[in-house]
Structure 1
């Protein structure tokens, strides 16, 4: 489907087609479903699948499921279907008399709803936790915003609305989730987590971002990589390559003009950023991690049990920017963005747990930080 095209509300036979594809896609046991969109929520559930994973290789056949993939269709997404992977707590069922809090994990650029279960031990880390772990798929370049679309903001995709309103409502109305939510994100998802929490105060009870893209307007004449360049790269590598200006327009000065009065759509870049919504984070427990770009050893291994050590505070030394080849560029830019963000939090008098450490932009550095941030996140939602 070409970018910008409208998505029809209902496509006859799509649930049946998806069900027939289950065996070919390796999604395990599946059940077709038809929870139609409502007047208050344009999204509807098309399909449920029970995928086998490394941690739960028999999930599709076990009588008690640990993993469910929910296929959602919404005109907000500009896609036929988007998936939400959910890790289910002990005792969960659709007919349970109780509800559960939710821990949301937002994926980064180029990733999807399977990224955390593929790249981390999140299934084992949360196996005994009394919470649902929610991993929504957006797009590889979503930025978690409602896109500008050259000034026609009535056109999809509207990722902010989809994640905050539509997916939340579906989970709470059909899957026994409650309104006690915490969120963690990496890279693009880290910026999205802080931005969404700031724009919707109280929606998430705690927030963690790891190497988050929190200030895409950061400019440093001495650096090869500027914030808007990351958006341009991401758009080129999206599910279907798109013009990066569809997201938030152009940032204007000082990036693409020498005229300080030429700001173009810079207002949108600020409104759709974590730093631009920092004031809305007041009163919310916050965890911020970022690296310096150096190829540093982590000296951490998941041992398979809850006794696995958390990362020591001694790692947070705020080292100077590293210069370990091409891989350093992204995290060095992220480091600068996070320094801006932390300074903004400080100017607003908003406390945060901040760790600036040696490291690059990748799962080897993020997984131990996920494990370290989990107690704060789960405590905030009573899990």
Structure 2
């Protein structure tokens, strides 16, 4: 794409629906023939967004420009869930966790001189995915940062909300919301195995950054009503959805982050926690939060 940016398409047998793409930012001085390797930061998107969303919505290229780190922003499917799908116990396609934690990391380390000093961050469902990957792969990442991600997926009421979200959100390509993790009652063991709150003890030794709003109220960084109307081209239904979804979801997500923060504190596992009160489920907050977490991530990666 330019001197520092490469877009790649990956052919993987674990994901039949698409050939996922990834945007890779290499630092100044990078060379494919270098004797050295570089630390790697994996950056996950949310919901139905594609691998370019961080480039579209933030200035992450400029933020990363001064750091000696490779940044990898992969596809995650249309509501793919950041899991190897349960599919009624049969497993199989899609295998998003395998793709992100095994195949993609091997590709980056083999072809782009990526090292084994890794960190991961994500927003919304990508924040939840980052926490899942870090808890399910202890020691694989030196740092994990979640911005408005669900941090306690088996908290009463949360599984129902997650399943309904997949059914209601027409932007996801998910014909069966039970396919990801199974039934939250009959397949509860699988939900528990993927719950960052339940598996919080595995974060010992990993740097942690948790952030979200907690009240569901409009905050100082949110768009004004006229700005939302303009953004949604005057569509009243879309305007209401933007406010309602942004409010209700962030309040619920905030509750799960409070749970995980309290559990980590009880376990004496250090974490940087920024629960900022008012604020909707929206990009202005995530843009701020990733920049606050960035120096901590870079310090962890560069040891």
TM category, shorter: 0.7 to 0.9
CA 1:238–1:215 in 2, change beyond 3 Å: closer, same or farther?
Answer: farther
Instruction: From 142, 148, 154, give the equivalent of 1:205.
Output: 142
Q: Deviations over 1:301-329 (max 9, x none)?
A: xxxxxxxxxxxxxxxxxxxxxxx755311
Determine which of 67, 77, 93 is the counterpart of 2:5.
67
Q: 1:378 maps to what in 2?
A: 298
Residue pair 1:138, 1:144 contacting (<8 A) in 2 also? yes
**Offset of residue 145 of structure 1:** 0.8
- TM-score (structure 2 length as normaliser): 0.88
Q: Which residue of 1 aligns with 2:192?
A: 270
Map of 2:164 onto structure 1: 232
Tell me which residue corresponds to 1:117.
55
The separation in 2 between residues aligned to 1:144 and 1:298, in whole angstroms, is: 28
- Which of 178, 190, 201 pairs up with 1:279? 201
For structure 2, the residue ranges without an aligned partner over 5 or more in a row are 223-242
Aligned residues: 280
Shift of the 179–295 alpha-carbon distance from structure 1 to 2, 3 Å rule, reads same
- Look up the SS of the partner of 2:122 in the other structure: strand
* Bigger relative CO (Cα 8 Å, ≥ 6 apart): 2
> For the Cα contact (< 8 Å) 1:331–1:360, is it kept in 2?
yes
8 Å Cα contact 1:195/1:274 also seen in 2:
yes
Shift of 1:156: 1.1
- Normalising by the residue count of structure 1, what TM-score does the alignment of the two structures yield? 0.70
The aligned counterpart of 2:22 is: 84
Q: Is 1:136 aligned to 2:74, yes or no?
A: yes
Give the Cα separation in 1 of the matches to 2:103 and 2:171.
22
Mapping of 1:293-332 within 5 angstroms?
Answer: 293-298=216-221, 325-332=244-251
The equivalent position to 1:244 in structure 2, one of 167, 170, 177, is 177
| Residues 1:288 and 2:207 aligned together | no
**Aligned CA-pair RMSD:** 1.7
1:104 to 34, 42, 48: 42
Instruction: Give the conservation status (yes or no) of the 8 Å contact 1:138–1:159.
Output: yes
Between structures 1 and 2, the one with greater helix share: 2
Classify the secondary structure of the residue corresponding to 1:85: strand
Task: Name the SS of the counterpart of 1:89 in structure 2.
Answer: coil
Larger Rg, first or second structure (1 or 2): 1
CA distance in 2 between counterparts of 1:340 and 1:369 reads 19
Work out whether residues 192 and 274 of structure 1, in 8 Å CA contact, stay in contact via their aligned partners in 2. Answer: no
CA contact (8 A) 1:77 1:157 kept: yes
Deviations 1:241-273 (A, max 9, x none): 321000011112xxxxxxxxxxx1111111112
Residue by residue over 1:30-85, the C-alpha shift from the partner in whole angstroms, topping out at 9 and shown as x without a partner, is xxxxxxxxxxxxxxxxxxxx2xxxxxxxx2xxxxx111111001111223411011
